[in-house]
Amino acid sequence: MVKMTVAGLRLGQKVTSTQGRDCGQNFLIVGLIDDYYVLVADGIKRSIKQPKKKSVKHLSISLWVDELIENKLSSGGQVTDEEVYSAIQRWGEKKEEGEISLG
């Protein structure tokens, strides 16, 4: 069995929860805790000031990264909930390569 780790994940990367009561919810990674846990926020239910700790095995990882948010978080800058929310909304308007919508 292969264990998923945070290796290769980036701040500002879009993820979707696959387990828990927030299943199906889109988030951005706003912090890396250790090899198996990240902090995620969506700008509404989970603010940047109170992010949710999630195991990477309970997340579906997207290739999409918001570079503005990644740069701010990497340099220690402040990111607002509005920026996180609008980044998730922008992602919703784009399709990733090979992605299809069933709805």
- Greater pLDDT, 79 or 103: 79
pTM: 0.83
The CATH code of the domain at 13-93 is: 2.30.30.30
Q: Where are the domains of the chain?
A: 13-93
Residues 6 or more apart from 6 whose CB is under 8 A from it?
A: 32, 33, 34, 35, 36, 37, 38, 56
Among candidates 55, 47, 80, 56, which has minimal Cα distance to 66? 80
Q: What is the pLDDT of residue 35?
A: 87
Q: Please write the tens of the pLDDT for every residue from 34-85.
A: 889 999 999 999 999 999 999 999 999 988 999 999 999 999 899 999 999 9
CB neighbours (10 Å) of residue 22?
A: 18
